[in-house]
Structures are given as C-alpha cells and as structure tokens.
Chain A
C-alpha cells in the first residue's frame, strides 16, 4: 500500500472517530517518515479515546491513554480533563503534581471549569488541591472569600455572607456558588425571585445540579420526579426528608416517572390506586374520576381503594361515560337514577334535576320531549329555551287551553321576550282576537320600534277589522281602523290595499258610483294587466260582501289578455298576501275567474324559471293542483332541468295526496330522492322524503310484497335483499319511542324471572302449540324477550298496540320451517 493511500485511510478513520484504527495507521506511517502532522493526529486520537473511556466511567484507563499522547506532542492537550480523571480514579498525588504545572493564567482563564471544579472539591469535599495552585492566581483570594461567605451563611450571618459574596468579581470560579447562596439568603422574598436567581446558574456549571434540586424543592411540584430520578440515592433522601415525603411516595414518584408517555388510562389508574394510601384524598379522587371516564371498568377498584361513590355521583359518572361512547340509551338510565337520588332533596337539588330533565329532553321528540321540558320547569322555572320549545309545540293548536296556559306562563316569566310575544301575536291572529294582536304587537314595538313583523301583523289586524266592519255594516268604525293601518306607513303595496278597500267601503256604505270610480282608479293605477285587476277585485269584493259581477263589469275585459312575466310575479305576490290572510275561498274563486287567460298565458308565454318556480310554489301552497298541473304540462317540467319540476309533476298529478300515488309515482320519487341527495339539494330531499313517508303510511301492509311482485314475478329470491330483511323485533317494537322502550325494558328486567319459557309456553297454548313454541324459542331466542316486553307493558298498563298473536306470527313468518299449529 502506498503512503498516500495509507494516509488517506488513516485520515478517514480519524475523521470517522475510529481513533484506535487511526492510531495504528498513523503509527505505520511514522515508521516511514516522522511527520509532525501525523504525530499530532496520534496525540489527538489518544486524548479522544481517553475522553470516551472517561465518559464510560473508566477514569484510570482514560488517564493512561492521555499519558500516552504526551509521546507524540510537545504541547499537552486537555490537561484539565486529565486532572479531573486523576481525581476521579483516586490518584491525588498525580493530580496535585499536574495542577502545580498549571500557570496562574491557565487556572484563571483557560481552564475556568477546572477551577470551579477544584473550588467545589476544596470547599465541600475537603480535598486539598488549593495549595498547589500557582500562588499568583486570583483563585486563592476568591477561594478565601467563598469559604468565609459559605461559613457565614451556615452560621446564619446572611449579611456578612452577602457582603463577602459581593466582593467576588464576575470572572471567578465561585460566581455560581455566589448565585446559589444569594438565592437562599433571599428566601424571604418571592419564590419566583429565588427561582430566577437559581436559573441564572448555567446548566454547565458544577453547581447546576444542586441549583435544579433547590428550584425543584421550592417549586409547587414541577420537575421533581425527573430531578429525583437524576440524583443520587443520598440526594433523594435529603430531598424527600426536606419535602416530608415517605418511602412509598418516593417509590410512587419513581414509578410514575417511568410510565410510558402514552400510557393508557387503565395503566395510570391502576398505578395510582395501588398507591392510594399514600396520596392525598381530594386530588386522588378527582383524578381517578377523570380517568374513570376513559376506563369505566375501574369503578369497582375505585370504590374499594379510594372511596365509595354516592348513588348520584356513581350514576352521573356512568351516564357521562355512556354519553362519551354515544350510548344514549344507557346514559338515559343512569340519568334517571340520578333524578331518583336527587329528588330525595328536591329543594336543594332543583337546578340539577331541571338540567337533567333538559338533557333527557334533548334526546326525545314531540310529546315525550315536551313532557320532560315541562317537568324541568317544575324545578327551574327560568329556562327560556324550554318555554320556547313548549310553546312552539303547542302553538299548532292556538285555541287549546294548554297552549294558552303555557303562553301565559311564558309571558309572565319573560314579559319582554320578543319570541314569546310573536308566538302570542300569531296565536291571537289565528284566533281572530284582533284586540290582543294589537296589544301584543304594541308591546313588541315598544321593545323594538323597527320590528317589521309587528307592524305588518298590526296592519293585518286593522285591515281584518276594517273588513269585518264593512261586512257588519258598522261603517262608522271603518275609518278609524283604516287610519290606524295608514299610520303604520308600510309602503306603496299596503297603501294600494288601503286605497282599494276604501273604494269598496265607499261602494258599500256611501255612493256606489263614486265607489266604483275609486276602485277602478286604484286598480288601473296599480296594474297594467286587467287579469290582475280582475283577480284582486274579485277577492276584495268577496271579502267585503260586495257583488263581484258589478265590480268586474266596471273593469277592462281580461278574457283575451296574456299575462306578462312581470305580471305573473305581481300575481304571485298578491296570491301570497291573501294566502297569509287565509282568504282561501276568495283566492280560489278569483283564480277561477281568471283561469282561462291565465292558462293561455302559461301555454303561450315563455316565463323565466325563477318567476315560474315562485308561482308554482305559491300554487302548491294554496293547493291549486289544476293550475299546477297546467304549469308542469306546458311550461315547467319539460323546459327546465331543475329536479324540483319532477316533484311538482308528481304532486300535481296526485292532487297533493301521496296516498293516491301509484307505485310508478313512488319509484319516480325514489329516483328523485337519490338525485336530490347526489346534488345535495336538502330542500328537495325533505319534500320528497315527506311525500314518501306519507305514501308509506298509507301503504304499509303488503308494501314490500307488492314491490317484490312487480320486480320479481317468478318469486326468485334476490340475494342482495337478504341483508335488508327486517328484524322481527324491529318490526314489532320499532314504532315505540326510546323513552317508552326504556321503561318497558326496565320493567322487563324486574319481571323476567316470573316467566320462564315453559310458563310462557303454557300461557300461549291458545295461540301456538307448546312444543312448537319451545322449538321456536330455540331457533329465535328473541321471541322470548319480545313476549316479556309485552308482559312488561301489561304490568305498566301501557298500550303499545301489539298482541301476543302478532308477536308469534311475526317470528313464525321469519322462521317458516317451525312446525306450527294456529288455532287462529
């Protein structure tokens, strides 16, 4: 091998940290030529190997390797390390000798770390290395000051200690000791100040370990476990003693520290409960309770080792655990148990009881939800949302006494609540209690003077009374109502209505000619198209009891007119307004009058989709299926892509009655539902779902058989449908609300032992042969649960609409191989 290659190889080993190999190769090279550079490399390699040995605690070997390096260099490397290794391998004489070789400058400047180490050894480990240090070094003076200061601090003379420490310059082997002592002298101050002083000691100082320990001692808990693990057993004992920790607690801290970062709740829970006896109760309980949410099986251990839960708390914990796992059904049972426990002191626990009722109500619908909310208000009558839900539920029947009661309760509790006042206004309007409408609407306007809803309903109310007065011929009262309506200043459209009604008033009460002129004037001023004039005039004439034909005769003929797109939009608007006023009869009659030109318009005009959709939607609202069909036939369904036309087409065809739909219509709707879902058209999805739901209700019996018969006339079984087969249990009990089902199940648990299968078999002897029944139970064990639920319903006197015969028939149908004997 050539020298060049050997040198390259040696350098590569050196650079890779393979010093032993590097030494061998460089020694080989030296045999060929004594290059100073190669000598240096060998010297560095020896020192590097020495350091590596020292890091593994092999100080003697380290010292020997260092000594070897001297053969290859005139300038010794890292003497400070060598001195430390000599001390660590207990060769003080050699260490003293080596120290004596260092100059004052080396001690004070070059080897500051060594000086700090030697100072520590001399001060606290009684190692006398100080005398060997160069006499001219500042170390001696600083050592004296540090020694005296520490002595003063030990003797409680903090002032003296402080004064001495202040004499130490910044560049001193004892500056970090100075910070340490000053921090402890300053202990009367804020803990944070002490910690800040301690943190000034750099983490590479000889005093860093002790500084961290002191900081941990003075911390609330902090890094104590980590620090305890990094100190000697002796230091642990000192800390434990200072902190008042016993052996078990130290052991616990060590074990906690060794836990994996991702340890499961179960592992932590088990460890903590093992040491329960040495941990303070309150934090232990709280933390265990938190862990139990993720590790519910620990409840038994918790009760055994930590404390007994009270009934409420135990059930609360379990309810929350169930909620977190989305097991609402079980959660409900635990919350019910909580209610039972809390009701033992209802006054004290009123809010909790109310909140639990509301929680339960969140999972319910309709009457069950309302019932729970009503119960919640018995315990906390101040919950606005509960009143809102209850009122919204009952406002479907605004005449009912229950609605009136709840409205009154709600307004009593929240007289300034606009939402409640709106419900009250609507109810009063529906009941035609116009005085109340204006009262409630005035209250709303007092709270919110710009509330448009209140203004509009007041307007409707005044106008309704104005109509009444014309009809009743109480003309003297008419003007006052009209004046009030006018004062609301709702805009042109409303003013037009007021003017028109005034015309009818004049016609009915004062002067027919003058009245006709006024009506004509208002309608001509408002509409360009006679179709619209005829429509509104018809409605108003009917509403005021004025002869329709007389009024219509005075208007331009509408028969040969076509309605423009703007006109159709206007017509849609007027129909909607009258629909809001519930003038159904008048609307239908008026539409009848303009049906011919309207139909012609739909056939001949090319309306934009937006206007036409709005018109169609209005036709659906007023349930005018004849015109709806016409729109679908001539304009909408064929011309536009929007899926909604497919819906209108079917709904128009069946006159809005899903029960009249054919199975083809149902299939069309199902296909539409899929498309609506795919296009994320939520509104259409709701409409179609509603249609299908109603269709289903009217076609429940034999529905599936008919569909199967249509698609599977040969009776071949479609394998894909197997998974969709209905579970008999769901067929029988699927209609029950969760709450009813839960009650049944609870009761069933109580009575199940009273009805062994044999006893049940006997009780069913009139329905099914005993043997056949027992055989059926073996094949369909669920039938037993189903029958027990029926027994539970009997006990609870609940009519769930299922008989034993239906249960048996249902399971027999699901399991046709069972030999049967039907007496019925």
Chain B
C-alpha cells in the first residue's frame, strides 16, 4: 500500500506549502469525474499529512506499509551503475544464446 507521501509524490520532509502544491497538482491531474477512487485516495492522503500535527500523528501511529519489492529496491539502490562499460557488453555477448530464445527468434521472424 502506498504511503500518503507516495500518493502525493512528495518527500517525507516536505513542508505544508510543498505538500499543498503537490496535492493541488494531483487533484488537477485526477479529477473526480475521471477516477473517483483515485481522487478520494489523494484527498485522504492530503488530510493525513497536510500539516505538522497530522504528519506527526501519522508518523506516531503508523507503521509504514512497505512492499517487498520496495524494500529490495531500497536495499539495492546503492548497487546501481551509471554506465555499462564496453567490456561488460562484450562479456555478456560472449555467451551462447539460450536455445529457447533462438527457437523464439526463428519462429517469430519466419517470412
């Protein structure tokens, strides 16, 4: 389940003004006549974190809901590379192709 911050697309240390701005942008992008559920979700998210007190309440009485994939993403975000070196590409290509893929290639490209 997404946190109110994720729904509004703001960081957890965003201030009232930034959160309000994000909220207004979101409801503009998702008006109720397009998607009522989404609109209510955005409204609810805004009410939950709109000011210092509501944010403090949210932080105090909630345990953040995190998906496994989100955790893995966070856990391995440091293990990113900015660029793939030519050597790496050569190494990856220097391998026999799995027959399943070849089979697919031959079947799909037939004229």
Q: List residues of chain A with CB under 8 Å of any chain B CB.
A: 51, 54-55, 57, 59, 78, 80-81, 84, 88, 109-114, 116-117, 120, 123-125, 153-154, 156, 180-181, 184, 187-188, 202-206, 208-210, 213-214, 217-218, 220-222, 224-225, 232, 234-235, 238, 242-245, 249, 253, 256, 259, 268, 272, 279-280, 282-284, 286-287, 289-290, 292-293, 316-317, 320, 323, 351-352, 355-356, 359, 380, 382-383
Contacts and interface: CB of A to CB of B under 8 A. Distances in A.
A154 B81 contact: no
Contacts of B66: 286-287, 290
B63 A289 contact: yes
B102 A351 contact: no
A315 B104 CA distance: 57
Top-7 shortest CB links A-B: A113-B109, A283-B74, A221-B73, A287-B71, A204-B108, A113-B105, A187-B83
B106 A81 contact: yes
A210 B95 CA distance: 10
Interface of A is mostly: helix
B26 to A, nearest CB: 21
A218 B88 CA distance: 13
A224 B76 contact: yes
Contacts of B79: 243-245, 249
A117 B91 CA distance: 17
Nearest to B101: A209
Interface in B47-106: 52-53, 56-57, 60-66, 68-69, 71-84, 86-106
Query: Which interface residue of A235, A287, A323 has the most chain B CB atoms within 10 A?
Result: A287
Interface of B: 52-53, 56-57, 60-66, 68-69, 71-84, 86-111
B93 A54 contact: no
Given A110-B110, A221-B73, A290 B94 contact: no
Nearest to B104: A204
Contacts of B93: 120, 123-124, 210
A54 B105 contact: no
Contacts of A280: 74-75, 78
A232 B95 CA distance: 9
Contacts of B107: 113, 204
A235 B92 contact: yes
Nearest to A232: B95
B73 A220 contact: yes
B108 to A, nearest CB: 4
Contacts of B80: 218, 220, 243
Given A204-B108, A280-B75, A290-B66, A214 B98 contact: no
A587 B92 CA distance: 98
Contacts of B88: 217, 238, 242
Interface of B is mostly: helix
A221 B106 contact: no
A184 B85 CA distance: 8
6 contacts: A55-B103, A222-B73, A242-B81, A245-B76, A292-B63, A380-B53
A154 B90 contact: yes
Contacts of A224: 76
A113 to B, nearest CB: 3
Nearest to A51: B103
A268 B102 contact: no
A120 B108 contact: no
Given A204-B105, A220-B80, A184 B86 contact: yes
Given A232-B95, A242-B88, A268-B68, A206 B105 contact: yes
A351 B104 CA distance: 62
A218 B84 contact: yes
A112 B71 contact: no
Contacts of A116: 105, 109
B61 A256 contact: no
Query: Which interface residue of B62, B77, B96 has the most chain A CB atoms within 10 A?
Result: B96
Contact of A256 (B56, B68, B90, B109): B68
A352 B57 CA distance: 8
Nearest to B98: A209
Contact of B95 (A218, A235, A351, A359): A235
Given A153-B86, A243-B79, A290-B65, A351 B94 contact: no
A55 B84 CA distance: 33
B91 A238 contact: yes
A111 B109 CA distance: 7
Given A117-B102, A221-B73, A283-B75, A214 B84 contact: yes
B105 A234 contact: no
A249 B78 CA distance: 13
Given A208-B101, A287-B75, A383-B53, 15 more contacts: A110-B111, A113-B102, A124-B90, A125-B94, A204-B104, A218-B80, A221-B73, A221-B74, A225-B72, A244-B78, A256-B68, A280-B78, A283-B75, A284-B75, A286-B64
Contact of A316 (B60, B69, B75, B97): B60
Contact of A359 (B61, B64, B83, B92): B61
A206 B97 CA distance: 7
Contacts of B92: 210, 213-214, 235, 238
A287 to B, nearest CB: 4
Nearest to B100: A55
A188 B82 CA distance: 9
A243 B81 contact: yes
B108 A113 contact: yes
Contacts of A214: 84, 89, 92
Contacts of A88: 99
A117 B105 contact: yes
B106 to A, nearest CB: 4
Nearest to B91: A238
A80 B103 CA distance: 10
B39 to A, nearest CB: 26
B95 to A, nearest CB: 6
Contacts of A112: 109, 111
B1 to A, nearest CB: 10
Given A110-B110, A184-B89, A232-B95, A221 B72 contact: yes
Nearest to A338: B60
Contacts of B71: 272, 283-284, 286-287
Nearest to B87: A154
A765 B65 CA distance: 58
Contact of A187 (B60, B84, B110): B84
A320 B86 contact: no
Contact of A290 (B60, B63, B96, B97): B63
B72 A109 contact: no
B81 to A, nearest CB: 6
A117 to B, nearest CB: 6
Nearest to A125: B96
Contacts of A217: 81, 84, 88
Contacts of A272: 71
A106 to B, nearest CB: 9
Contacts of B89: 153, 180-181, 184, 210, 214
B48 to A, nearest CB: 14
A270 B9 CA distance: 32
A120 B96 CA distance: 9
B52 to A, nearest CB: 8
B76 A221 contact: yes
Nearest to B103: A55
A111 B110 contact: yes
